[in-house]
Amino acid sequence: MNCIFCKIIAGEIPANLLLNTEDVVAFPDLNPQAPTHILIVPKIHVENAAELAEMQPNALAELFKAAKKLAIELNLPGYRTVFNTGEAAGQSVFHAHLHLLGGRALGWPPG
């Protein structure tokens, strides 16, 4: 399967793994939108968060637990977690991933 995140999980493409558990990996986004921008990715290949909820709900919870752990480690006073679902919402990699953003004031509504 030609999936960039599956290749990172398999160690075929290098990434700075900040977390590597049974179900989840986390690494910095290549194109950061904030001083802290980490991708938290389930090891199972599913297209989006809703599919992950159907296929492996426990891994979905693990993504949010990982976000909390990383935010504490990085001393973030607050953070934003985002799933982009579908091209119209900006999804470009079709392997589910949770964006963890922080380290600056984050405006609302998002763009």
Q: Which is nearer to ligand DGP, 17 or 61 (CB)?
A: 17
Q: Which is nearer to ligand DGP, 39 or 59 (CB)?
A: 39
| 103, 33 contact by CB (below 8 A) | no
**DSSP-derived secondary structure letter, 37:** E
Choose between 81 and 91: whose C-beta lies nearer to ligand DGP. 91
Q: Is 37 a catalytic residue?
A: no
Using CA atoms, how far residue 73 sits from 5, 28, 77, in Å, is 24, 14, 11
Catalytic residue among 37, 45, 95, 97: 97
- Enumerate binding residues for ligand DGP (CB under 6 A): 4, 13, 15, 27-31, 39, 84, 90-93
**Torsions phi, psi of 72, nearest 5?**
-65, -45
Smallest gap from residue 10 Cβ to ligand DGP (A): 13
Token pair listed for 48: 């989006």
Q: Would you please indicate which residues are annotated as catalytic (active-site) residues?
A: 97
